[in-house]
Chains A and B, each alone.
Chain A
Amino acid sequence: MTAAPAPAPAGALRPGFRLALRPRFRRRELGLLLVVSVALIAGRISLGVTQRAAAARLAGDSGPVAIVVPTDLAILAAYVGVLFAAHLALVLAGRRTDQILLPTVGMLGGIGLLLMERLPQTLAGSLGGLARTQLVWLVLSFALITALAVAVRNDAWLRRYKYTWAAVGVGLLLLAFVFGRDVNGARLGIAIGPLTGQPSELLKVILVVFLAGYLSENRSLLVEESTRIGPFSVPPLPYLAPMVAMWAMALGIVVVQRDLGAALLFFLVFLLLLYVATARVSYVVLGVAAALIGGAILYSRLGYVQTRVDVWLNPFADAQGAGFQIVQALHAFARGGLIGTGLGAGLPTIGGRPPIPALHTDFPFAALGEELGLVGILAILGLYLVVIERGLRIAATAPDEFRAILAAGLSLVVGVQAFIIAAGNLKLVPLTGITLPFVSYGGSSLLANGLVVGLLIALSERGAELPPPGPRRGRLARLGRLVDRGAP
C-alpha cells in the first residue's frame, strides 16, 4: 500500500469531497494539449479555406481565397481555451492524477466540434446552430470532468449505496418506458416538461457503478461456489439472479425501448466486467449463449429487429429504403479512400442536404471517414484505444477491487460504445442508434461521457486513501464484509 496523501491545506468541504489548493505541474498533459491545439487549429484553418473556396465557386469567383478570417476560429478558440482552463484547474488542484485522458478526449471532442462546424448549421441545435450548441455541451462536459477530477477524493458515496444507484437506474429506465419519446422509431429519449435527454447515457454510468460494487463484493463467491453443469461452471444460483436480471433488462430495453445499441452496450460491458471480476471464460460463454438465444427469440418475434438484421446482412438489397442510411455511410467511407477528401470537401449535398440524415448523431464516424480518410479513422480508433488503455491501467493499479472494476468499467463503457457505433457504421454489426463518445452531437452523451472521464481521472490518483469500511446491512452485505475482511 502506498503512503497516505499529504494532508490537504484546505479543510474538508464535506465527507468525500475535499478541495485542495497546491499547484503541481502537469507537463505531459500540457505538452499533449499543445499538440492537440495545434492539430485542431490546423484543421479549422483547412476547413475555413475549403468552405470559403466553395462559397467563392458558388458565387462564380475563381480567384485565390483570402486567408483566415478571425471569426472562423471563434468557436474552436473557445473550445481550446476550455481545455487549457481544465488543465489549469487540475494543476491548481495539485493531484497526482492521469495526464493522458484529458488531451485524448479533448482531441476527440475537438474533432467532433470541427465536424459540427462543417455540417449544415440548421441540422440541429437551439443555441444558434449545430456547432454553437455542441460547444455549449462540450464546455459543460469538460467542466464536469474538471469538477470531478478536482473534487472527488473518496468513492464511498459510490460503493456504499450501490443498491440505491441500482434503484436510480431502474427508476431511469421506468421513466424512459413511461415518458419515452420516439426518435427514428426507437424510444431513445425522454421528455418531461422542458427537460429532454437520453436516459441510457446516464444509465450506463450507474450500471458500471452498481456492477463494480456488486462484483467486487461477491467475486470470490462467484468463483468459489460455482456449480458445474456438464463442461460449464455456472455461478452459484443466488448470485445468478442479478445476471439473469441484467439479461432480462437488456432484452427489455430492446423490446420496450427498441434501443438495440444500449442493450448491446450494457450486456457487453456486463460480460466484460464479469470476466474481469471472475476470470472465468465459461461465464462469458454462458452470457454470450444467453444473449444469442435471447437475440434469436427477439429476431423471430420483433419485426424491427428482423429488419435491422436483414439490412445489416444485405443493405444493398434495399438501398433506397431500409438500407439507405448504411449504404450511404459505406459510400461515404469509399469516397474518403485512404487519405480522405479533406475537412469540408466531402459529404456532397443533394438539394442542400448531406447524403446521410443523422450525420451528426449516428454517423459522425462515416462523415469523418470520408473527410479524413482511412488515416483519420485509424487515428480516431487509436484515441479510443488510448482511453481504454488508460482506464485498464488505472484499474490495474487501483488500491482495491471496487476501484479496479469501476475504472475498468468506466473505460470499457466508452470503448465498447465507440466500437458498437463504429462497427455499425462499417457494417460489421447491425446498425444501432448510439452515439460516438465525445464526437457525436448531443448533450446527454457529452455529459454522461464527461462523468465517466471525470471519475476515471479522479480514480487515477496515486496514493489515494482507502475508504473506511462503512455500515452494511442485509445478507449480501454480510457476504461482502467477508471479502473486505482481508483489507488492511
Chain B
Amino acid sequence: MTADSSSLGRRIPIGTALGRVGLALAVAFGALAAGAGYWQVFRSTDLSSSPDDAGVIAASRHVLRGVITDRDGKRLAWNVRDKNGEPFRMYASPALSGVLGYASRQWGNSGLERAWDAQLSGAASADPLYDLTRKFRTDPADPEALKTTLVLQLQQAAVKALGSNRGAVVMLDPRTGEILAMASTPTFDASAIANPATSDKAFRALQADPSLPLLPRATQGRYVPGSIFKIVTATAALSSGAITPATTFAQQPPAEKNGLLVSGFRVHDGHHLFTGSEAMNFDQAVEVSCNIYFALSGLKAGGEAMSTWAARFGFGDSIPFDLPTAASQVTGGGGSFGGGFEDDVELANAAYGQGETLVTPLQMALVASAVANGGILMTPHLVLSATGRTASTTISPTVWRQVMQPDIAGEITNAMKLAVNSAWGRIFTSGARVSGLTVAGKSGTAELDPGNKPHSWFIGFAPADNPQIAIAVIVEHGAHEVRASPLAGDLFRAWRAWANT
C-alpha cells in the first residue's frame, strides 16, 4: 500500500503498532467497565443506603412529617412546600413554641418535634409489619400523625395571660396525667425557623435574644419556688407523722415579731399584722402561708424525710415525660445534716421554699396534681395517639407512683381550698378564686438575691372536691405587680369555658 520510509532501511510496521494501541485502549476501557461494575454492583447497596447518600437525605427532606393536632382535632403543625417542592413546617400559633418546639432542615428539631421525630418523619412505624418490609418498599417512610393532649385555646390563653412577662404555665388533668397546656414565654415563631427562606435570620436572632425564648421554661427552667413548696413540706411532715393537722407550735406566735432564730439565722414572716399572736394549726398556717410554722414542721420532720417525700413527687431526677426535663431539687445535696442538707438553717429555709430549693414549673404542676388525685401521681404525657398509614398507637393513662396516702392528700386539699377561699387566704392568694368553681391552691413569692424582684408563683387545682384540672403558673420577677394567682384564676375560667363546650 504506502511506500514506507525505505531509504534508511527496514520497514516500520505501522499497522501492528496501531493494532497494539487499539488493544491497549480496549484494555483501558475494559478497566473502566470493571470500575463501573465495582461501584454499580458490588458497592451499590452499601453506598446507596448509607445515611450520607444524597438519595437518602433527599427522601428524608421530601417526606411529609405527620400532622400534629390538639385533643379536639385542631391542627397545630402541618406542612407547606417551598419553591423546590420540599416541604417545611407551619405552626398554628407561636403560643405552642414552648411545647412543640420546631422542625427545621437547617437547625434540626426541638420540643415534641424532636421527641417524636422518628414517628413524625416515618422512620419508625406503628405497624411492626411495615418495619419488617420497609427495605422492599419504594416509599419507605410511614409518617405518623400525632394527636396531642393539648388544647389549643388553653395554650393560647396561657400565653395571653403571661403577656409580655417571662414565665411558664403548665395545666394538666390530674386523673390522667394528660397535659392540656404547657406554655413558655417569651414565645417564638417556629414557622419562621422551619421556613428555609427565613430560617437562618430567625434562628440567629432568637439565639442572640437575652430573654432566651428558645428555653422551654416549663420543663427546663429551674426556679426558686417560695411558698408553693410548703405543699411538699406539708406532705413530708404529715406523712412522716411529724405533725398532724391539729399541731401548733408554741414558739410560733412570739417568733412572728422578731423572727424565728435557727442557729443564728432568723426566719421572718409578714402575716402577724393580720393574725396577731394566735398559735396557728396546719390549715391556718397554709392559709396565711406561715414561714415559721413550716420551718418548724420541716425541722421536726428532718432532712431525711424532706428529701424522701420530695423524691416521691419526682424531685432529684428528670421526670419521665415526652420532653426532656431538668431535675428539681430540695437541696444542693452533699450535706451531712440528713437528706443532703448542710445544716438546720438550710433545712428550715428549704421548708418554706427558699434555701437551695429549685423547681421546674412541670414539677410543681405534678405536686398539685398528686394532691388533687388523692395522692396518686399519673405519668404526665403529651400524646394521645400516633396514627400511621396502616396502624395506630394509643397512649393510655398510667400511674407513675403513689406519692401519699389519700387521707393526707385530703388534709392538704382542704388547707389549699381555704388558702384560696377563706377570709385570710384571700389576702394572700387574691384573684385565684373563681365564682362557681371551688379552687384549691397555694401562692408563692420566691425571694431572690437582693436587687432581683421575686418570682410570683401559683399552684392549684379545681374543682376542689372532684379535681379535673391542675395548674402551675410562674411569672418571672412578677413580685407584687404581676402576680401569678389572678392569672391562674383566668386560666381556670378558660378551662371551664373549654370543658363546658
Contact = CB atoms under 8 A, between A and B. Distances in A.
Interface of A: 1, 58, 219-221, 223-224, 272, 275-279, 319, 327-328, 330-338, 348-352, 355, 369, 373-374, 377-378, 381, 384-385, 388-389, 392, 395-401, 404, 408, 412, 415-416, 419, 422-423, 426-428, 482-483, 485-488
Contacts of A384: 29
Contact of A426 (B32, B52, B61, B196): B32
Interface stretch (B10-18, B212-220, B288-296, B358-366): B10-18
A336 B84 CA distance: 23
Contact of A374 (B2, B19, B21, B40): B40
Contacts of A483: 5, 7
Contacts of B29: 381, 384-385, 419
B61 A350 contact: yes
Contact of A334 (B13, B17, B48): B48
Contact of A351 (B50, B52, B86): B86
B12 A396 contact: no
Contact of A486 (B3, B13, B58, B59): B3
B22 A392 contact: yes
A212 to B, nearest CB: 12
B6 A486 contact: yes
Contact of A335 (B3, B14, B18, B53): B53
A419 B28 CA distance: 8
Contacts of A275: 17, 20-21
Contacts of B48: 331, 334-335, 337
B204 interface: no
28 contacts: A58-B81, A219-B5, A276-B21, A331-B54, A335-B47, A335-B55, A337-B44, A348-B54, A348-B58, A349-B58, A350-B54, A351-B61, A352-B85, A352-B86, A369-B39, A369-B40, A374-B37, A381-B33, A385-B29, A397-B1, A399-B1, A412-B21, A415-B25, A419-B29, A426-B39, A427-B35, A428-B31, A487-B2
A116 B465 CA distance: 75
Interface string B40-64: 1101111110101111011101000
Nearest to A337: B44
B9 interface: yes
A319 B53 CA distance: 11
B54 A355 contact: yes
Chain B residues touching A, range: 35 or more
Contacts, number: 177
A235 to B, nearest CB: 14
Contacts of B250: none
Contacts of B105: 351
B8 interface: yes
B40 A373 contact: yes
Nearest to A218: B5
B40 A486 contact: no
A275 B196 CA distance: 58
Given A220-B12, A279-B12, A374-B41, A482 B7 contact: yes
Interface of B: 1-9, 12-22, 24-26, 28-29, 31-33, 35-37, 39-41, 43-48, 50, 52-55, 57-59, 61, 81, 83-86, 105, 196
B2 A219 contact: no
Given A276-B14, A348-B58, A334 B2 contact: no
B32 A423 contact: yes
Secondary structure at chain A's binding surface: helix, strand, loop or mixed? helix
A162 to B, nearest CB: 17
Nearest to B22: A392
B2 A392 contact: no
A161 to B, nearest CB: 21
A378 B2 contact: no
B21 A272 contact: yes
A340 to B, nearest CB: 9
Contacts of A488: 3
B12 A385 contact: no
Nearest to A426: B35
A319 B52 contact: yes
B57 A378 contact: no
Contacts of A412: 21, 25
A328 B45 CA distance: 15
B2 A400 contact: yes
Given A334-B46, A428-B31, A487-B3, A374 B57 contact: no
Given A331-B53, A338-B40, A399-B2, A404 B18 contact: yes
A422 B21 contact: no
B26 A385 contact: yes
B39 A220 contact: no
B25 A423 contact: no
A224 B8 contact: yes
Contacts of B8: 220-221, 224, 482
Contacts of B33: 377-378, 381
Nearest to A347: B54
A355 B57 CA distance: 10
B10 to A, nearest CB: 8
The 8 closest A-B pairs by CB, nearest first: A352-B84, A348-B58, A334-B47, A355-B54, A220-B5, A426-B35, A333-B39, A374-B40
B444 to A, nearest CB: 49
A374 B16 contact: no
A444 B18 CA distance: 29
B25 A404 contact: no
Contacts of A482: 7-8
B17 A279 contact: yes
Contacts of A401: 2, 4-5, 14
A422 B39 CA distance: 13
A377 B40 contact: yes
Most buried by B among A377, A398, A400: A377
Contacts of B31: 423, 428
